[in-house]
Amino acid sequence: MRHSAAVWDYRAATEITKDWNGINQFLLRNPQGASARVSLHGGQVTSWRNEHGEELLFTSSKAIFKPPKAMRGGIPICFPQFGNCGSLEQHGFARNKIWTVDDNPPPLHPNDSHGISFVDLLLKPSEEDQKGWPHSFEFRLRVSLTTDGDLILISRVRNINGKPFSFSFAYHTYLSVSDISEVRIEGLETLDYLDNLCQRERFTEQGDAITFESESLIMKKSGHML
């Protein structure tokens, strides 16, 4: 029987290193050997490994690892705009910014505090950001790894001056799959989507599961991108 959770020190389980551009990144570990790595560049999770050390996230061999270009891999955060559905740069500016560590985040709901190893990050808009998107916000991101090796991302956006604004948001997750023909995505039946490979024509999903036989690039109206 394992008693590791009772004595597990989540701070000791978090190691700070530098990413490929010298920007701080955090390595989260659980007692079973699973890990996750998250960079202050974009608040982007760049690696998630299971207890066998297998990488679960994909990073393109063509990824550019240099700001201000976001890296194509891991989990880029799209905010305050998804895709090119607005006047901002593709997928918004959050993924291109240097986030800070949030030393004193407001408490999370107890149901959301499952992480055995975690880091809290914060993004506040710069003056430059506010020229392009004149809204006052704080974006808090908690990245946690559970005892079971699950990765949990919790995002909280706070309007700090009470003037209403709207935004779109997505975790642009690149999952690594060994055999795409084995993948099924369920639960999207009846949703409308825009097909990027058909000039963003709108269709309604009919099937109870999506499978992949060829290149596919569809954007669900609710914000999911496949």
Ligand X SMILES: O=P(O)(O)OC[C@H]1O[C@@H](O)[C@H](O)[C@@H](O)[C@@H]1O
Q: Which spans of this chain sit near ligand X (rule: CB under 6 A)?
A: 70, 72, 83, 90-91, 196, 217, 225
113 vs 216, which CB is nearer to ligand X?
216
The distance of closest approach from Cβ of residue 152 to ligand X in the complex, given in angstroms and rounded to an integer, is 23
Give the nearest residue (CB) to ligand X. 90
* Long-range Cβ contact pairs of 25-28 (< 8 A, separation 24 or more): 26/119, 26/143, 28/115, 28/117, 28/118, 28/119, 28/143, 28/144, 28/145
Q: Cβ closer to ligand X: 156 or 224?
A: 224
CB of 90 to ligand X, least distance (A): 4
Smaller CB separation from ligand X, 17 or 90: 90
CA distance 54 to 58: 11
What's the DSSP call for residue 70?
A: P
The strand pairing partners of 152, in sequence order, are 144
Nearer Cβ to ligand X, position 127 or 215?
215
- φ, ψ for residue 137, nearest 5 deg: -145, 165
Q: Residue type for 210, please? A: I
Please give the single-letter amino acid code of residue 74: G
Q: Smallest distance, Å, CB 81 to ligand X?
A: 11
Minimum separation from the CB atom of position 198 to ligand X (A): 13
Which residue is listed with tokens 């001056």? 161
Question: Whole-number minimum distance, CB 106 to ligand X, in Å?
Answer: 31
3-state secondary structure of 197: helix
Choose between 59 and 147: whose C-beta lies nearer to ligand X: 59
- State both tokens at 10: 């989540």
**Judged by CB, which is closer to ligand X: 108, or 188?**
188
Q: Residue 57 Cβ, how far from ligand X at the closest point, in Å?
A: 14
What gap in Å lies between CA 170 and CA 155, rounded to an integer?
10
CB of 72 to ligand X, least distance (A): 5
- Smallest CA-to-CA distance from 28 within 88, 116, 106, 159 is with 116
Report d(CA 43, CA 25) in Å as an integer. 9
* Smaller CB separation from ligand X, 141 or 225: 225
